[in-house]
Amino acid sequence: MKNVKPWQTCAAAAITLVALASSATAAEPEHDYANQTPYGTPDASVQAPPEGYQMFFLETIARHGARSLTSDSPEQDALQLWQRASDKGGITELGKTFARDVVQFQQAEDEFGYGKLSGLGREEWQGIGKRHAETYAEFFTRLDRRDESIASVTTSVERTKQSAKAMHEGLAEGGLNLDSELAPLTQADDLLRFGNQASSAGRAMTEEILDRDAIRERAESVLRTIYVPEFVDNIKDPVDAALDVYKLYSTAPGMAKETDITFARYVPQDDREPLSYATDAETFYQYGPGIEGETNTTENARPLLDDFFKALDDRVAGSSTAAVYRFAHGETTMPFAALIKAPGSEQQTPAGERFTRGTNPWRGAVAGRLAGNIEWTAFRNDQNKILVTMRYNEKPVKFHDGCTPTSDDGYFYRVSELKDCLG
Written as one string, the DSSP assignment of 93-140 is TGGGGHHHHHHHHHHHHHHH-TTSB-HHHHHHHHHHHHHHHHHTHHHH
- Looking at the domain covering 21-66+118-203+273-421, what would its CATH class be? alpha beta
Give Cα separations from 358 to 161, 201, 215, 355, 362 (angstroms).
37, 21, 16, 9, 10
CA nearest to 262, candidates 73, 58, 102:
102
The model carries a pTM of 0.92
Determine the Cα–Cα distance for residues 164 and 183; give it in Å rounded to an integer: 12
- Amino acid type, 77: D
The SS3 assignment for 410 reads: coil
Contact (Cβ atoms closer than 8 angstroms) between residue 90 and residue 227: yes
CA 142 to chain centre: 32
- Cβ contacts of 385 within 8 Å, gap of 6 or more: 53
Determine the Cα–Cα distance for residues 14 and 258; give it in Å rounded to an integer: 14
Contact (Cβ atoms closer than 8 angstroms) between residue 373 and residue 62: yes
| Bridge partners for 326 per DSSP | 61, 153
CA nearest to 126, candidates 154, 162, 180:
162
Q: What does the pLDDT read at residue 195? A: 85
CA nearest to 108, candidates 277, 287, 248:
248
- Amino acid type, 184: P
Contact (Cβ atoms closer than 8 angstroms) between residue 61 and residue 325: no
Q: What does the pLDDT read at residue 13? A: 32
Domain ranges of the chain: 21-66+118-203+273-421
Contact (Cβ atoms closer than 8 angstroms) between residue 357 and residue 279: no
Contact (Cβ atoms closer than 8 angstroms) between residue 192 and residue 62: no
- Amino acid type, 12: A
pLDDT in tens, the chain (423 residues): 334 444 443 433 332 222 222 223 334 444 699 999 999 999 999 999 999 999 999 999 999 999 999 999 999 999 999 999 999 999 999 999 999 999 999 999 999 999 999 999 999 999 999 999 999 999 999 987 779 999 999 999 999 999 999 999 999 999 998 888 999 999 999 999 998 889 999 999 999 999 999 999 999 999 999 999 999 999 999 999 999 999 999 999 999 999 999 999 999 999 999 999 999 999 999 999 999 999 998 999 999 999 999 999 999 999 999 999 999 999 999 999 999 999 999 999 999 999 999 999 999 999 999 999 999 999 999 999 999 999 999 999 999 999 999 998 899 999 999 999 998
Number of other CB atoms surrounding residue 307 within 10 Å = 18
